[in-house]
Amino acid sequence: MAKEPTIYDLVLLLSTSSTDEDRAKILSEVESAIASSGGSIERDQDWGTRPLTYQINHQTDAEYHLLQFQGPTSLLESLSHSLRIADGVVRFRIIKVVPGTPPAPDSAPPLVAPAGSTPGASAATAAPA
């Protein structure tokens, strides 16, 4: 029985204070690192600019990307090192997709309101304490 190739999810948060060219360069470098290691990109989704749950380095939002890829385990260390030192990267996470896991959705996850906020509610309409 042939072994299924290992698929990884890379969730990448890029700084919105970086230029469009810098963010595109980071994505291009990730894609070329995957290709040069003999890997392949299975899915590349741009989830757009979304608010962060909490501030990271004084930033309240980031540009989110999901890349699903196949590649050797040596690629993971190389990607982690490159992304850790890249100036435009706010956060990233590489996760091994366990066989049998449902596929990623075709669209970005819904935005969730911050804890304690109610859409459409204002201080004047809030219930008294």
Which pTM was predicted?
Answer: 0.80
Cβ–Cβ < 8 Å for 58, 16:
no
Give the pLDDT confidence of 42-87 residue by residue, as tens digits: 999 999 999 998 999 899 999 999 999 999 999 999 999 999 999 9
pLDDT at 106: 80
Q: What is the pLDDT of residue 34?
A: 95
**Range scoring the smallest mean pLDDT among 55-59, 87-91, 103-107, 111-115:** 111-115
